[in-house]
Chains A and B, each alone.
Chain A
């Protein structure tokens, strides 16, 4: 039997870490790691596996059980997990085909236990078009970064959405080229320093960051467009809901569902994970406001409610 006090301490650590506001003090850590009188720690297995604990959360079944190559504090691992959670929830592993980009998520198929295709840089939505047109009853999604989707793949992105391909596009916007280690991206913020904009992005020279969600929401083929983040628990829950909605909408054959996710990139932002989370709140979200940009309306909404 665990003491109530102990649980509270654990919760406190989790909540302070999650909020990224209070430092975890030595005192809190000491409290958490010192056995309370009359009690001892079980070291041979994680405490969460004690029979007396109720399982409240598990790794999604469709997420492959390997360690990921992503940096600590990176958004990718979290978003991978969210997609797989939703695939589990909908029970559509057998019906889903993903397309991985060139970028940090190039190895996405190492982690997602579904059929996947690796695409050339920027071409993920064209590859997804090829799959979806031949397999219209399957769920097809692409997973792309800002360099992939908004620079080299701009034409493919716009035309895929303009054709209203019934796919889900997950767009991870972290304002840098992650895999090539932090060059300026089309979404790099004004004044933001990157390896190729060492003095900060000069908008008179390179223009302003592209707001892809707003841009593509103008196309009739875009059915659902939303911008989310994953830097705190509430944001994560909302992002998960958006992914769930997008996959449900895909069955309506009404057009492209586009989920932009503001991703943390501590390594290339040269920040700690906590600082990166704060940077998302303080800077990224100011330039890229969160929320739905385009949602199903009228008849479409009615159909959705009936379907759900």
Chain B
């Protein structure tokens, strides 16, 4: 085991090398350019491919080609760049290609700002591009997880032949923390479907998302739906804090979950019995656990750095059993623990008044 002090983006890039990433294609954008910079320096040392493309559109299609040829491939970008990639991501999902996409989320809409945000939640978990598809979405909340989720992400991508998205943000990408490597070993998976040249011994392989006959496309859609159901059943990841005796529950992911962790400590000192559920996979979503927690909590508070996006999934999960409240900051502003506690206290007061 090796421990280093690293930036989130660099830890992620180093993890990519260690996870056996064969190829990285990317385009510079703040706040994630360190990934491309790090890999441009390090990948050639390992005889891996790293290429700065002319655009995010080209990057994601290079991934499509490389992943289709059976190689572990990865790209990273930040919000506006991820928007540009949506077409390619839809094709990748349709063609069922395993790959890793990283979004170091900044605040939008439009050019927005380079400061962190969580405004890409909908885009990440509800499809993003055209057509019915899902990405497996992992939300790290520390530099350690920026690294760990690369290993987990690649393995999940290969296991399900599905694109995996790491949804980080500008703060986690830029912050420095200690990170330990050596926990994971890359898993090699056979890819008999890859386009590497057709030998005599098998039929030709082709990578496509085109099924011009509706009967065939519906079958393909149903196959995807069945896959997503299996993923929902088997791959839900979340973290709980102080939920055993919790009367109130905060739901937050990524950077917000870290801040809420601190907020919960402050609230607990004040005698407020509050817990935290941090979804790690945003798809598949920990709906079942939230429904269970709804049975024993008075209300839930969703904290996000957006106008309220994940709150919809929390509401769907609890299905009206408890009130679901929201606190959010936007535009690259980060909430501080005190304002979250204040919001919590106000909500408790209000619920008593009723």
Contact = CB atoms under 8 A, between A and B. Distances in A.
Contacts, number: 126
Contact of B208 (A96, A109, A128): A109
A90 to B, nearest CB: 13
Interface residues of B, number: 39
Contacts of B53: 126, 159
A130 B57 contact: no
B162 interface: no
Q: Which of A123, A126, A129, A156 counts the most B-chain CB atoms under 10 A from its CB?
A: A126
Contact of B197 (A97, A107, A123): A97
B87 A109 contact: no
Interface in A96-147: 96-97, 99, 106-107, 109, 112-120, 123, 126-135, 138
Nearest to A159: B54
B285 interface: no
Nearest to B212: A107
Chain A, interface size: which category? 20 to 34
Contacts of B57: 123, 126, 155-156
Interface stretch (B2-10, B64-72, B138-146, B230-238): B64-72
B39 to A, nearest CB: 14
A94 B197 contact: yes
Is chain A's binding surface mostly helix, strand, loop or mixed? helix
Given A127-B64, A127-B68, A156 B58 contact: yes
* Most chain A beta-carbon neighbours within 10 Å: one of B25, B62, B204, B208: B62
Nearest to B92: A120
A159 to B, nearest CB: 4
A5 interface: no
Contacts of A129: 51, 58, 62, 65
Interface in B199-229: 199-200, 204-210
B92 to A, nearest CB: 10
A93 B68 CA distance: 18
A95 interface: yes
Among A96, A132, A133, residue most surrounded by chain B Cβ atoms (within 10 Å): A133
B65 A126 contact: yes
A127 B59 CA distance: 9
B61 A115 contact: no
B196 interface: yes
A134 B71 contact: yes
Contacts of A131: 65-66, 68-69, 195
B289 interface: no
A116 B196 CA distance: 9
20 contacts: A94-B197, A97-B196, A97-B197, A99-B65, A115-B204, A116-B195, A117-B65, A119-B65, A123-B58, A126-B61, A126-B64, A130-B61, A130-B62, A131-B195, A133-B62, A134-B22, A138-B197, A155-B54, A155-B57, A159-B54
Pairs of residues from A and B, 5 with the lowest C-beta to C-beta distance, nearest first: A130-B65, A126-B61, A130-B62, A118-B208, A127-B65
